[in-house]
Homo-oligomer: A and B are copies of this chain.
């Protein structure tokens, strides 16, 4: 499991045009001519080792982080010390947007594995937004999509059982990896069982048991952090409706497919960005 984007680990600044994620920064709204502008906004690139923090909740928010490779989890802590994972962020995503209003980060951001990220100066990003309207529009767009993401997550946590949550989690991850030209069926989890459970609002042990059950049912092949998705279709059924009736072995009369007048298979909306 090597990460194709990690080309060099030295910290010498690299021009954005040379950055493996250039496409993604362009998405930031900075087209060809604005590339110089972009370079002025990027402060520095850095490699974070597993469990290192990109930023802490409450810290003055001076940068937004663009993940180039690796993955990062974000989480909140209650005053009694309980933790709630609020996000899993992959290469190509922007972190720390919520710091825009109060000038302080709203959550902890911790690398799940060796991770490379660029710091973009918030102040200069705002300046850039004044010069290039596209930047402004893109910032709004990114934040809006974050809002949608949370809305979907709320729906998942509020109205779906443990099985549906885990299935949705796997599908969303698969889809996001596919978008980044990784395999959609072979994935290596960067979060532990405990972290996944925390994220999905279920206990670590429940995650284990569900992985075991999914494997029994031939939906996945799980070996520690490595997961192979063998039946995306059936996973989708599980994620969306109640558990699917076993397809083989004496299907009773009229007991096929979802019981609801449904349409569009569509994407596993929650948990994706």
Contact = CB atoms under 8 A, between A and B. Distances in A.
B158 A80 contact: no
Contact of A153 (B80, B81, B154, B260): B154
Contact of A158 (B84, B107, B260): B84
Interface residues of A, number: 53
B106 A140 contact: no
For the residues of A in contact with B, the DSSP-based class is: helix
Contact of A201 (B143, B148, B158, B264): B158
Contacts of A145: 101-102
A241 interface: yes
Interface of A: 76, 78-84, 86, 97-102, 106-107, 126, 129-130, 133, 136-137, 139-148, 150-155, 157-160, 198, 201, 240-242, 258, 260, 262-264
Most buried by B among A141, A152, A158: A158
A158 B157 contact: yes
30 contacts: A76-B151, A76-B152, A76-B154, A78-B160, A79-B240, A79-B241, A79-B264, A80-B240, A80-B241, A83-B159, A84-B155, A84-B158, A86-B155, A97-B144, A98-B144, A98-B147, A98-B148, A100-B140, A101-B141, A101-B144, A102-B144, A106-B147, A107-B151, A126-B137, A139-B140, A140-B143, A143-B143, A147-B150, A153-B154, A154-B154
